[in-house]
Structures are given as C-alpha cells and as structure tokens.
Amino acid sequence: MTINEFNFAGKKAIVRVDFNVPLDENGKITDDTRIRGALPTLKKILADGGAVIIMSHKSLGQIREAVEKALGVPVAFAPDCAKAQDAAKALKMGEALLLENLRFYPEEEGKPVGVEKGTPEFDEAKKAMKASQKEFAKTLASYADCYVMDAFGTAHRKHASTAVIADYFDTDNKMLGLLMEKEVQAVDNVLSNIKRPFVAIMGGSKVSSKIGIIENLLGKVDKLILCGGMTYTFAKAHGGEIGDSIVEMDKLDVALGVEELAKKNGVELVLGSDCTATNGLDFDTMSVKPGAEIINCPANKVPAGFEGVDAGPESQKAFADAIAGAKTILWNGPAGVFECDTFTPGSRAIGDAIAKATAEGAFSLIGGGDSVACVNKFGLADKVSYISTGGGALLEAIEGKVLPGVAAIKGE
C-alpha cells in the first residue's frame, strides 16, 4: 500500500516524522527543512479528511505553534506520549496532535538502562526491555487506525516508533510516507536501477568509517573517487610523506586492500594526486591563523609541520574529469575542510562537476550532512537530482544493509 493509494477519510493516522529541528537560545526554529519535508504527507492525510498524530524524538511542545502554522489546522499537544489515549480520542478529523518526545521513554530505543553490557544481568535486562518495547509500541499503535513511516533519518534503527509499531497494523494500514518513498526511490536509483557510467565520490576523514560502503560500491560503480582526509591514509600506505595530515596508521593495509579490490573489479579508482596544505588552520574558528603559510604540494610529499586540508588543482581537475559524462552519481563526504572558506575549491570542483553532469541528464544523489552542507553553501541545491535527509540511514542503505523502518512496512 502506498500513501497515494490510501484514502484517509475518517481515519486517524499516526505518523513517524523527523522533527529534530535546530532551535536557538530563545527556542525559535533556525532551520525548518525537516518540517517542510514532512508537509506533503501530513497534508495529504488532512486533505483526505483524516486526522494526524505526529511523533518524533524531539520535545515537540516547543514547536507546536510552528507546526500549526505550517499545517494550517488546529494542533494539540500531548505532554506524555505513552499516556495520550484521551488526547487521541478527542482528536477530530482535520486536526493534528503532537506527542511529546518518544525518547523520554527508554522503550523507544529498546536499550537496557543502568546495566553493564556483557554481563548476565544485561542479557536479562535486554529481554525484559524488548518485551517493554513491544508494549510501548502497542500503546502508540492504539491511538490510530493506520501507521505512516516518514522519517528516513531513523529508518536504520529498530525503534518502537520506526519498526516495532508496524507489527500492530495489518498490511493495508501501514505505509511509507511521501518523503520516505522519495528516499527509497533515490537509493534504488543509485544501487539497483543504475544508468552507467556510475561514479561515486566518497570523502571524509576516515577510511574506517566508510570501508563497508566503499567495498559495496566497488561491486557496483565504474569509477570511485576517494577524497578528503582519507587521501593521506592511502598516500602513507605507499610510503608517502604526509606531514601532520590526518591518517589512520592501523588502516594502511585496508587502503591497499581497497586498491586491490578496485583493480580486481575493473573499477577506476581516483585518488587526489596533490593537495592544498597549511601550517596554521584554526579548527575552532575555521580560519587560517595570521602569518600561516598555504601551499600546494603532492599528496605524498606534504612537508613536516603542514597538513593537507583540501584537494589541489590537479586533483580538482581529475575529479571533475572523472565525473564528466556520468549518468548516475553518488556524493558522500567533502574533499577538504570546506567549513573554512579558504579551503572550499576541492569540494566546489566536485559540486560544480556534479551540477554540470546533472544538467546533462545524470541522476545525482547527495547524502551525508557535510555533502549536503557543501551543496547548500555553494548554492547548488536546485542543480542536483536529490538531497537525502538521512545521514546514517543512507550510509547503511548504500552499504547494502536492510533498513528496519522500511522492512517493517514491506513485511520483510
């Protein structure tokens, strides 16, 4: 069942959203992207003549007025998500109800509290917590006639509100929301419905945090660009000099293994040959210290006292050339410390090349907080195909893992 096929007239729908929006010191929302992302789903339910019960892992009382303004209907607030039976019962069609933060209850995440992991007591506590989690999910389910999962950012967690709750609705009364459908389709486009050439760009500081994703991609892509901090682990693996650049000395063999796997699979592996390095980046203020030097040098010949902070001119050209002509593109992770305006050129070169390829017909998926921040910083958000809202969920999907929040709806 999809949300567009379902008629919500006369029904109460409990919807899991991601309303974990940032607030300033006065409690005002500084970025309402996540609220706006959920509006198509919520408004569809209301337009059909249904009512919505909204749940998330945020203290929703403080954003009630903002949600009411966005939806254009009366929005009530239940101060205890596990004791909202009366509020749910009083809810009229065409109205909305916000539940208080789900994570105020440990049953939401299903993790034992106050017991040391690896002990017999932990195993017993875990078993008891799983039973409590089911009861908590059953309570949430009792408020509504149908369930909609629309929080991709938490779809990789088997929490009460993202997966367990689905057990209490039959197949025809549980479905993915419009935002979730878009996310799942976008992932499918880059992993299953591939148009070639397929180019993936993986950045960030550590090889270790991306190794599962890299290995899975090496079985799918035509070209893989590896950039950012992991550049120096690869350079060091070949005996290069990397100065003070970030490096994982215990992952040098992993880097060499990635190169071997790429070769075995016939994948063109593109690594930065040069870099921009400095001896004076202030990470607290994301600025270059007065009097500091900035140089371009080979990525495997970074002078002592300097650290690589961005892809150099040669690398930028190599990255852009590799992206040109691609038909499917995935970008996760920047090419350097883009938060400092001085070191944006590497990430900018990637963003511009992706925008150009997209204009020429490529499907481009941007995922992960830093890549999304890059795209927004460079004003390229409307020049790529899709920007994912789910960091961890997207990475696990790319790694080939089953997402509990999706599996629970599909009955897998």
Nearest-10 Cα torsion for 73, 56, 172, 5: 50
By the 10 Å C-beta count (0-12 exposed, 13-18 middle, 19+ buried), 58 is classed as buried
Pairing of strands 301-302, 146-149: unpaired
The one catalytic residue in 10, 49, 325, 369 is: 369
Which pair of structure tokens corresponds to residue 35?
């609220």
Q: Identity (one letter) of the amino acid at 294?
A: I
> Which of the following is catalytic: 11, 34, 174, 210?
34
Q: Are 46 and 67 in contact (CB under 8 A)?
A: no
- Residue 298's DSSP bridge partners are 274
Positive or negative torsion for Cα 246, 249, 254, 260: positive
Q: What residues are paired with 242 via a beta bridge? A: 302
> Distance (Å, rounded) from C-alpha 33 to C-alpha 23?
12
Contacts of 176 (CB under 8 A, 6+ apart): 2, 3, 148, 149, 150, 184, 406, 409
Q: Is 369 a catalytic residue?
A: yes
305 catalytic per annotation: no
CA angle 242–290–334, rounded 5-degree value: 45
For the record, the structure tokens of 286 come out as: 């994301």
Q: Is 92 designated active site?
A: no
Whole-number Å distance between alpha carbons of 130 and 152: 23
Task: Kindly report the number of other CB atoms within 10 A of residue 192's CB atom.
Answer: 8
Find all residues with CB under 8 Å of 282, minimum gap 6, and list them: 288, 289
The catalytic position among 212, 257, 280, 392 is 392
CA distance 4 to 6: 6
Catalytic residue selected from 64, 126, 206, 401: 206
Can you tell me which residue has the tokens 């050129």? 345
Q: What is the CA radius of gyration of the chain?
A: 24
Q: Rounded distance, CA 141 to CA 148, Å?
A: 11
Catalytic residues: 34, 206, 369, 392
